[in-house]
Chains A and B, each alone.
Chain A
Amino acid sequence: MSTCYNPKTMDELGQALSQLTGRSLILAGGTDLVLRLRSKHLEPDALLSLSGVPDLQEIEITPERASIGAMSTMARVNQALDGLPDLQALADAAGGVGSPQIRNKGTIGGNAANASAAADLPPVLWLLNAQAEIMGPGGARRTIPVQELPDGHQGNTLAVGEVVVRFVIDRPPLKGWRSAFVKLGHRSQVTISRIGLAAALLQEEDGTVRDARIVAGAIKPVPFPLPAAEDILRGKRPDPALAVELGETFKGNTRRVYKENAAKGVFQDILLRFQ
């Protein structure tokens, strides 16, 4: 039988983290972990449940920054950010994860820390240059760019007894930018991404793209930027007809013929978001 830690405050969380070993598991929303627990018949020596710490669920949006507690559910992230042009991609991604039931339970921290290649939030967190704030044993804190969270092998770089407590996005650098996320799965709702595409554009008043950032997900073990696509967009209006040319930038990035062919469709869908 495993020990269960159910901290209620950040202090208690820090203490609980000190007790964890390499055989312990940290339980966020549970939408992925429960499946792994059962299919692999894992018997952790301790289970740390994050559900009881209200601070981990806090979402605070100011003109300076967006601070999103790691235990914020997809549904809450979607609700809190929907309509904010610079952060829209995060709302889109969170709003498109799984089913309503999954969105009510799955968390931004779990999605990012779990580091599945098909996860929807990491490409957006990369796009927005989010910082991950990490708590370690005894409550020690450190902050890393989200790009340093995954280990490249569908795992994370967190040490034993470490947990992501929140994500922070600096908003001033995003002033004037609009962002969006679209995905391609097997159906319109409740689907795992075969391609995830996060884009942010800084546009002139006439729509011309002054600057662009594009990050793709679900292609490689970790998200990756597409500078060639960004180059295509700069100086032009985001015309959906550019999709064919943009789709070509996927070549060489994936061995899956399907994904290579389908990329232009995803590009067009995202361009339509900027009309």
Chain B
Amino acid sequence: MKLDFFVNDEAVSLETEPQRRLLDLLREDLGLTGTKEGCSEGECGACTVLLDGKAVHSCLTLAAQLQGRHVTTIEGLEKNGELDILQRCFVEEIAIQCGFCTTGMIMSAKALLLQNPNPTPKEIRTALSGNICRCSGYVQIVNAVSRAASEMGGGV
């Protein structure tokens, strides 16, 4: 099928199989390897991207579902070499260890802040409950999201 959609605000046109996963389109066809595959079944959240602004699993999204839609990946957060506030807070709050969950975690956090600019720690934990981090106890991650929210002044 011919697929026309948007990735990180750029129009992308691809000839692909309808059954191809968004995860593979990103990693293999577009070279956007920041999105990770951790479980292939929508349980770990490492492959999280935004689809029309909402966090979804790119491993459970098929090309057939993407016509005309907007996908944002981790690569789309950095603007002109400047890290997104969330990315910077993750670095500065020491919320990153092995890093394999990080990009998906940041995308879930991004989706949360788009919807709820002032989340409580409990709301953050619920919003990130679909993203598994095996290295930490989520403490620095929650701190990073809280700090990003307050640095954004409660508005994204």
A interface residue numbers (CB < 8 A to B): 1-2, 4, 6, 27, 30-31, 34-35, 37-38, 47, 49, 51-52, 75, 98-102, 104-105, 189-190
Contacts and interface: CB of A to CB of B under 8 A. Distances in A.
Contacts of A189: 126, 129-130
B51 A104 contact: yes
A49 B130 contact: no
8 contacts: A31-B42, A34-B21, A47-B64, A49-B62, A99-B129, A101-B55, A105-B51, A189-B129
Given A38-B40, A49-B18, A75-B54, A101 B64 contact: no
B65 A101 contact: no
Interface residues of B, number: 34
B127 A101 contact: no
Contact of B60 (A6, A31, A49, A190): A31
Contacts of B59: 34
Contacts of B112: 100
Contacts of A27: 62, 64-65
Nearest to B48: A101
B89 to A, nearest CB: 20
B64 A105 contact: no
Interface in B111-156: 111-112, 126-127, 129-131
Interface string B62-98: 1011111100000000000000000000000000000
Given A2-B19, A98-B42, A101-B57, A52 B68 contact: yes
Interface of B: 1, 17-19, 21, 40-43, 45, 48, 51, 54-57, 59-62, 64-69, 108, 111-112, 126-127, 129-131
Contacts of B127: 100
Contacts of A51: 64-67, 69
Contacts of A52: 67-68
Contacts of A99: 42, 45, 129-131
A35 B1 contact: no
Contacts of B62: 27, 30, 34, 47, 49
A30 B18 contact: no
A101 B112 CA distance: 11
Contacts of B41: 35
A27 B1 CA distance: 15
Contacts of B60: 30-31, 34-35, 105
B129 A190 contact: yes
A96 B85 CA distance: 30
Contacts of A104: 51, 54-56, 111
B56 A101 contact: yes
Nearest to B111: A100
B130 A47 contact: no
Contact of B56 (A1, A6, A38, A105): A105
- Between A1, A51, A52, A99, the greatest number of chain B beta carbons within 10 A of the residue's beta carbon is seen for A99
Contact of B57 (A47, A75, A105): A105
A30 B51 CA distance: 14
